Structure 1
Amino acid sequence: MINKNIAKEYIDTLGQFPNYQISIYDSYAKKIGSTSNTKNCFSQEELQNFLNSNESVLECKKDSLNCVLVKIYEDNITSCFIAIAGSDNNLLPIATALKMSLEIRLKYEQIQTEEKETLTINEQLIKELVSNSLQVSKIIELCEQSNHSMEIERKMIMLIPDDVSSLDVLANMNLYYDSKEDIVGRLGHQLIILKDMSRAIGSEKDYIKVYFDFLIKNTSFKGKALVAYTSKTYDNVKFAYQNLTWLKKYTTVHNIQETILFFSNYVDMYCISSIPYDILRNLFSSYTYNEEDAKEFITTTDALIRNNYNIVRSSKELFVHKNTLMYRLTKIKNEFDIDPINSESDRSFIKIYNYYLKHKIETKGDSNDERN
């Protein structure tokens, strides 16, 4: 719908018509923009009569000027009309060109408005889906309003931009890849994408990686993408959000630098973090705690875990000689009577004890635990 701002912007672009008086009138025959400050060629009664008539174009002569009135329609309703006056004998082609250009401008404005409204509906839908108190009727209503199906399997992707101020711009960009069933909306300091997985061929991870590459190449996004399990029903979306909220905190605390992280790769740490601390404290109470040794253990095992216990890669990450790393690993093997290089169960022990020490240091736990 036309308004004063759109009319002014449009009038300001008409510098190529300096020899004509061009005015725009709204659906009440009120002038909302003009290229000339001269007296109106038409009386208010004439303008009102044209507005209420069935004619879409009116050609006439006013004093020494030829004039044309032409209506602009939106959804078969008169949105506004243009008046052009000049000395040319044939103003109709110019009036027609002005009409077409203004219609294009109004159509663009309509599309922009609809996209913003859809975004708002998407954000409402996402908020409802991640709520702990799901209102099914509300979800159905929002799905209908946003033209999305409730029956499609979707994978939640949480985009965390390096610059939070870019979220508003990013939220209004076209993030669709191969399906209009993708649901995109801002939620807090991140952007949530519920990606339609019905078109995924082969590995879901590979498919998401291709989609992420598409986002990097075709949008302004810079930052991390956290990826949850696929939610096969709408009521599982809230659990995907809880998982990614935990993963977001985990990546921040542990300064993980990867740009795309799959929750499935961190399930073991998620489960470990769910164990009450009292249980862990009792479990490891027989081991001597020294903060300096604990920090060395954490640093060393973090590198080993990230590099799948590859000594060469781990030593490079730690900036130490591989013999130094082997010395540290030998200390760990002797202290705990384990062999994480060759034993999966011992690797599980390393992860759990690593988590326990981190929690103990972060919470400034008692540093006087002694071996029984």
Structure 2
Amino acid sequence: MISNQILQSTIDGLKTITRRDFFITDIEAKVVASTEENQIGMHMEIVEDFVNSQAESQLIQGYHYFKVFDENTAEYVVAVRGEDEEVYRIGKLAAFQIQSLLVAYKERYDKDNFIKNLLLDNLLLVDIYNRAKKLHIENNVPRVVYLIETQPDKDINIKEVVRSIFPSKSKDFVTAVDERNIILVKEVKEKELMEDKEKVARMIYDTLSSEAMSTISVAVGTMVEDLKDVSRSYKEAKMALEVGKIFYSEKHIISYNQLGIGRLIYQLPVPLCHMFVKEVLHGRTIEEFDEEILTTVQKFFENNLNVSETSRQLYIHRNTLVYRLDKLQKMTGLDLRNFEDAITFKITMMVSKYMNYMEKMSY
């Protein structure tokens, strides 16, 4: 079914051209769009009788009525005010316009269903290629999946906003699996660089942030060259979104091939993570360390274990920083000035983040 907003926009445009009033009802004779005030939502008994008749058009009480068909089944009734000869031609044109919209929306709906089932692995391999051929969707074309997570907003159709960003790209597909996640399956150039993919992600993020005025996250899968592999790129984007929430919460755009060690940790069993942290911290947890120590360690890592630069950025004396590192060494046995120990503690912090996230998700 066509959205009522599209129907309203269509008859508003027709009124501007023809200077005639129109209204459209659904098959149950309820007005869904009108150029006249106070008609929307009304039930038209006259239309009910017309729908049940064999006539395709009929002049009744100052309006000319026309049925709009979808594969020989009436879907809408278009009414034009007036009884002169010109009204018939105008009404036929209006009915033809609505029917053309029905065909276009049906094709989009079919493609939308196909892409959804493709992403969710609900299609057999033979069905993928057969349906793609019928829908005129090319197979061996490089594509990337972008997963956009946003807060639901009743006043803004996020999916349509994303479609408007790529208006001339008929080979790109935008769909949604739930009210929070919008998926863009975008055709890309074969040798498109990662920087180009991130530019697209940045464009999506900037546009939606200004339109929706809410928190937006964009995750990017890897490029695939076969239609059957699009679901893999989608799964990668989903993982990137989840891993980003755990380890890179300050980032709004995250790519699967930039997840680093976070991707490995995300796939570890939680009991194994508990065992690892317990062994490294001798029964302690990261939460038992005071905020001052953890902030110092984080800044120390950011500065590649450089004592002088870290103390300068923290506005503390070098000896104070050394004292804090020595304090941590006494608690854990790890000297963060030693590269191997630093790596061990860094991984421990990341594993602890992962465990905390999984515990919150289980509630």
Q: Which TM-score applies when normalising by structure 2?
A: 0.62
Change (3 A) 1:358 1:154: same
Change (3 A) 1:246 1:294: farther
| Counterpart selection for 1:207 from 197, 201, 213 | 197
Q: 1:240: which partner in 2? A: 233
Task: Give the secondary-structure state (helix, strand or coil) at the position aligned to 2:345.
Answer: helix
> What is the root-mean-square deviation of aligned Cα atoms in Å?
4.9
Deviation at 1:176, TM superposition (A): 6.1
| Counterpart selection for 1:158 from 147, 159, 165 | 147
Change (3 A) 1:191 1:328: farther
State whether residues 125 and 142 of structure 1, in contact with CA within 8 Å, keep that contact through their aligned partners in structure 2.
Answer: no
- Confirm or deny that 1:196 pairs with 2:191: no
Change (3 A) 1:28 1:362: closer
Task: Give the secondary-structure state (helix, strand or coil) at the position aligned to 1:192.
Answer: strand
Change (3 A) 1:336 1:271: same
State whether residues 11 and 35 of structure 1, in contact with CA within 8 Å, keep that contact through their aligned partners in structure 2.
Answer: no
Q: 1:368: which partner in 2? A: none
- Confirm or deny that 1:169 pairs with 2:157: yes
Using the alignment, how far apart are the partners of 1:252 and 1:314 within structure 2?
26
Change (3 A) 1:83 1:268: closer
Stretches of structure 1 lacking an aligned partner (at least 5 in a row): 16-22, 38-68, 365-372
Q: 1:92: which partner in 2? A: 85
- Confirm or deny that 1:281 pairs with 2:281: no
Using the alignment, how far apart are the partners of 2:194 and 2:35 within structure 1?
49
Deviation at 1:309, TM superposition (A): 6.6
Deviation at 1:85, TM superposition (A): 6.5
State whether residues 303 and 309 of structure 2, in contact with CA within 8 Å, keep that contact through their aligned partners in structure 1.
Answer: yes
What letter matches 2:35 in structure 1? T
| Counterpart selection for 1:143 from 125, 128, 132 | 132
Using the alignment, how far apart are the partners of 1:85 and 1:363 within structure 2?
66
State whether residues 62 and 82 of structure 2, in contact with CA within 8 Å, keep that contact through their aligned partners in structure 1.
Answer: no
What letter matches 2:252 in structure 1? T
Task: Give the secondary-structure state (helix, strand or coil) at the position aligned to 2:220.
Answer: strand
Deviation at 1:224, TM superposition (A): 0.4
Change (3 A) 1:361 1:120: closer
Counterparts of 1:118-133 in structure 2, within 5 Å, are 118-128=111-121
What letter matches 1:29 in structure 2? A
Task: Give the secondary-structure state (helix, strand or coil) at the position aligned to 2:26.
Answer: helix
| Counterpart selection for 2:109 from 106, 116, 131 | 116
Greater Cα shift, 288-297 or 138-147: 288-297
Q: 2:207: which partner in 1? A: 217
What letter matches 1:285 in structure 2? E
State whether residues 143 and 185 of structure 2, in contact with CA within 8 Å, keep that contact through their aligned partners in structure 1.
Answer: yes
Change (3 A) 1:10 1:249: closer
State whether residues 149 and 217 of structure 2, in contact with CA within 8 Å, keep that contact through their aligned partners in structure 1.
Answer: yes
- Confirm or deny that 1:5 pairs with 2:5: no
Deviation at 1:183, TM superposition (A): 3.0
What letter matches 2:125 in structure 1? V
Change (3 A) 1:76 1:220: same
Deviation at 1:78, TM superposition (A): 11
Q: Percent identity?
A: 15
Deviation at 1:289, TM superposition (A): 4.1
Change (3 A) 1:356 1:12: closer
Q: Which TM-score applies when normalising by structure 1?
A: 0.61
Q: 1:349: which partner in 2? A: 344
Listed one character per residue, the Cα deviations across residues 149-205 of structure 1 (whole Å, up to 9, x for unaligned) are 2212222211111x235699333552563643323322244222222122764x323
Using the alignment, how far apart are the partners of 2:78 and 2:277 within structure 1?
80
Deviation at 1:244, TM superposition (A): 3.4
Change (3 A) 1:337 1:315: closer
Change (3 A) 1:270 1:207: closer
- Confirm or deny that 1:249 pairs with 2:242: yes
